[in-house]
Structure 1
Amino acid sequence: MGDFLSENPLVLLIGASEVGFWVLLAAGLAARYLLRARRLSTLLLLLVPVLDVVLVSAALVDVAGGSPPDATHGLAAVYLGGTVAFGHSLIRWADARFAHRFAGGPPPPRPPRYGAAKVAYEWREWGKIVLAWGIALAVMLLTATVAGTGVPAPSDWSADPMWSWGARLVPVVLIWFVGWPLWTTLSPPRAPETTDVRG
């Protein structure tokens, strides 16, 4: 394991970015709601996307220095896509719970369960994974361009160390589509009927 990490420092950076995301998020919310230091909180939360910039820059520097794009570069692209697409929602989710717990804020809102609101919600959530996939592919394309390796045909993605990560996300995107937005659109759940028991 130690040899793998020493030979693939980008994996360590991905792990550090994930840890850094949660540390900065917790510190930013603690500064806002416990210390009442709103400026410090804003600064800490603004540092979250800086982690993404550092990660993609390190990947590009690595291939520009002669390293061929491999699975770690693909993983970095997927991680970046995920943090960009889902990061804001995670911050909003954590902020609502922190405000409720420590600042007397309202209970965190729950996702809609019925009707058109539920359908719209599922399409928005699925759109995030599509966005994550698109960003990952864009970063892979940029990495391949910097490395000068070109882009394989989609049918060959599975055999390519980096682009195989793009292929792995295809079933995730499709299963999510069928299981949630499509299914909810075709059969939207209805709120249970309430019986008026007043005499």
Structure 2
Amino acid sequence: MNFIAWIIVACEIGFWIFIIAGLVTRYIFNKKKAGLFLLAMTPIVDLVLLVFTSIDIYRGADITLAHSIAPIYLAISLVYGKSMIQWADERFLYYVKRDGPKPKRRIGMDYAKHSMKGSLQHILAYIIGGALLLFIIFYIGDSSKTEILWRTLKLWGIIVLIDNAISITYFIWPRKM
């Protein structure tokens, strides 16, 4: 496994450490601001990953799939961050602290709207992450070195289209219990 792959693993671990530490600080120790600060560090972890990736590429490393993941991680954190924290908050309160309402199971049009919101967020993440990937591609300026970045961008685009198509089907065939 190359250097960037190990950095991705470390950042993923760091991401979850900040999430858990933020929730514990927020709800077990009742330190709302400190907990929010820890939760807000999650995009910083992804930014660190992007910086390490950029440095690695700048130093002439062979570009791998691992390099193309960094912009995706950052974009996902920025776009989904608030909703991921809200999701974690609800479950932490209910399952760990036993002090909140049971997380609601969405069905019917409510589920369709929620799914479409997530799909629209996915489009936004694709735009941000895609712009970062394109910046790297054009900065390097050598198509033989950046082919994996192009393939990642294309594959992600297909995934975004499939995600949105699935969300549209929930309006046609609403999810039942």
Normalized against structure 2, the TM-score is what? 0.83
Question: Deviations along 1:23-53, whole A, 9 cap, x unmatched?
Answer: 1110111011111222321221121111121
Normalized against structure 1, the TM-score is what? 0.75
Q: Which residue of 2 aligns with 1:164?
A: 151
Answer yes or no: is the 8 Å Cα contact 1:59–1:76 preserved in 2: yes
The whole-number CA distance in structure 1 between the counterparts of 2:8 and 2:40 is 19
Answer yes or no: is the 8 Å Cα contact 1:68–1:147 preserved in 2: no
Q: Quote the offset at 1:165 in angstroms.
A: 1.0
Letter matched to residue 129 of structure 2:
A
Question: Deviations along 1:172-195, whole A, 9 cap, x unmatched?
Answer: 22222222x22122344589xxxx
Q: How do 1:68-87 and structure 2 match up within 5 A?
A: 68-87=62-81
The whole-number CA distance in structure 2 between the counterparts of 1:45 and 1:147 is 34
Q: How do 1:35-184 and structure 2 match up within 5 A?
A: 35-100=29-94, 101-102=96-97, 104-111=99-106, 113-115=107-109, 117-149=110-142, 160-179=147-166, 181-184=167-170
Q: Which residue of 2 aligns with 1:197?
A: none
Q: Which runs of 5+ in 1 are unaligned?
A: 153-158, 192-199
The whole-number CA distance in structure 1 between the counterparts of 2:125 and 2:114 is 17
Higher percent of residues as helix? 2
The whole-number CA distance in structure 1 between the counterparts of 2:69 and 2:163 is 20
- Percent sequence identity is 27
Alpha-carbon distance change, 78 to 46 in structure 1, aligned in 2, over 3 angstroms:
closer
Q: Which residue of 2 aligns with 1:186?
A: 172
Alpha-carbon distance change, 119 to 171 in structure 1, aligned in 2, over 3 angstroms:
same
Report the aligned-residue RMSD: 2.5
The whole-number CA distance in structure 1 between the counterparts of 2:29 and 2:128 is 36
Alpha-carbon distance change, 177 to 43 in structure 1, aligned in 2, over 3 angstroms:
closer
Question: Deviations along 1:139-182, whole A, 9 cap, x unmatched?
Answer: 111212332336x9xxxxxx912221112223322222222x22
Alpha-carbon distance change, 40 to 163 in structure 1, aligned in 2, over 3 angstroms:
same
The whole-number CA distance in structure 1 between the counterparts of 2:84 and 2:40 is 14
Question: Deviations along 1:80-123, whole A, 9 cap, x unmatched?
Answer: 33333333322111111222341622222333x123x3332221
Q: How many residues align?
A: 175
